[in-house]
């Protein structure tokens, strides 16, 4: 890659993807965000 910032981001992503603890934290945070989005959408539909 030519872009050093993008290259660094990809390197960090690959390192964190290999760490089971970081990967689990990522999935937990992602689930929390999706749950919150679903709750907001459900509240909107009830109005």
pLDDT tens across the length of the chain (47 residues): 589 999 999 998 888 888 899 889 999 999 999 999 999 999 999 99
In a domain, 25, yes or no: yes
Dist. CA 42–CA 36, nearest whole Å: 10
How many separate domains does the chain show?
1
So what's the pLDDT on residue 42? Answer: 97
| Three-state secondary structure readout of 7-45 | HHHHHHHHHHHHCHHHHHHHHHHHHHHHHHHHHHHHHHH
Whole-number pLDDT of residue 45 = 96
Residue from 8, 2, 27, 30 nearest 17 by CA: 27
Instruction: Report residue 42 as tokens.
Output: 């459900």
The pLDDT assigned to 10 comes to 92
Q: What is the pLDDT of residue 1?
A: 59
> What local confidence, expressed as pLDDT, does residue 16 receive?
83
Model pLDDT, residue 17: 83
Q: Tell whether 41 is covered by a domain.
A: yes
Find the domain containing 29 and state its range: 20-47
């Amino acid at each position: 890659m030519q872009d050093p910032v993008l290259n660094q981001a990809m390197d960090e992503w690959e390192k964190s993807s290999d760490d089971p603890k970081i990967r689990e934290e990522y999935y937990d945070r992602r689930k929390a965000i999706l749950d919150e989005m679903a709750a907001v959408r459900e509240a909107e539909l009830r109005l």
